[in-house]
Structure 1
Amino acid sequence: MVVADVVIPLAQATEPGFLDEHRWLGALLAIAVAVVLAWAVDRAILHRGQRIAEAVMRDDLTAAVDTRMRFLRRLTTLVILVIGVMTAIAQFDGLNRIATTVLASSALLAAVVGFAARQTLANLIAGVMLTIAQPLRIGDAVTIEDESGTVEDVRLNYTVVRGADGHRLFVPNERLASGVLRNDTIVDPQVALEVELWLPLELDADAVLAAFATLDGPPVARVAEIAVEGVRYTLARGLVPPRERPLHAAELRADALRALRAQGLLASAAAP
């Protein structure tokens, strides 16, 4: 009787529970919790960023906060989801044993993963560096390898730059961190208005510069380059908002052409 009283409770204690018999439910529960937690943390970070932006009420600080918060939201979501997937895998003994065996050879795993994901990890680390140092922010007017545009988003692996004509340039973060980046609005929210015009060598440079001087709000005109193909002139006139620069640049070019025609310079250059 004593032995029976002892054995029965032990047998009952070792009976598998509901989740032990349905491991897939535990895995789904882990993933569901991770998704909900990632969403909640994302909303919390977004709300906090909006409150900070409303408190500072300065465009430069708002852009800085927006850039950091966007990157932080994505990085936090990625970490939470990865933990959720790993927890789901751990629910299955077979997969858990395989993972344990693989992790036992950590040196080999690190070498394989590091080689396979080198570019991805480099872009992720570069994204962290860009977010902290902030050589560019959301809304900045930048030039990257002769491509100009406005920073639209800074993501985990790449940065999105929107061109003046609406096209989008996706630049790997590692390329930004290691390359040369021109930022026209990092200090001043306005950018210089400057255009270029190539004119024939036959035109008198003094007459061309005099024609440009007749423009309203006369621009600063210079001879920038002389080549076999012609002469490159630059015209600079004040500061404008970054998004308005293409429109003002087009108007300045049109005004310059009208001034040249008014002085009869283009007609003389076209004559045989």
Structure 2
Amino acid sequence: MTTVIIFIALLSALLVIPQVRAVAGGLLASSAVLGIIIGFASQRTLGNFIAGLLIAFTQPVRLGDDVVVEQTQGIVEEIGLIYTFVRTRSGDRLVIPNEKLASDTIRNSTIRSREKVAEITIQVPLGRDVGAVVDRLRRLREGADVFVSDLSDKATVVVRAEAEDEPAAERLERELRLGAYDVLRAEGVYA
């Protein structure tokens, strides 16, 4: 605190000298212009960053969702703070600025209503037959959407199924967890 007071006092004393005041005025004007230039240059990046935070909180799209953005259909692979990555049916990877996702209309055919969708996530060691686990999990409920959403340390398998209402979705999630446990035991994931 003492250092700040000394600095302010020294600066005030120096500003009394006309030559120092002229230099300080030029520096202040230059820094203001530089601030404006940096502000304009980073406007899109900051907009994408803020949109990324909004997407993280509101979740209009999630990993594995089947979406259509500007007449292009694909699966959401990754959601970052600045960009979202979507894999198209042809295998191309779209890099979409989050600002576009936050401001444009997106058709998300995966999530019809969050209250009416039961969802569980399962971790499967990469040494196991992930394909067999996914196939067996698909048999838990007819029409269930089962997919691998991540392959970092372990395979993250997501199981989604529609329910009539929110209480039914909660019951269905419990049933899916029990069924998934049985599948994982049968596949040797759990002893």
TM-score for both structures, normalised by structure 2: 0.43
Select the structure that is richer in helix.
1
Select the structure that is richer in strand.
2
TM-score for both structures, normalised by structure 1: 0.31
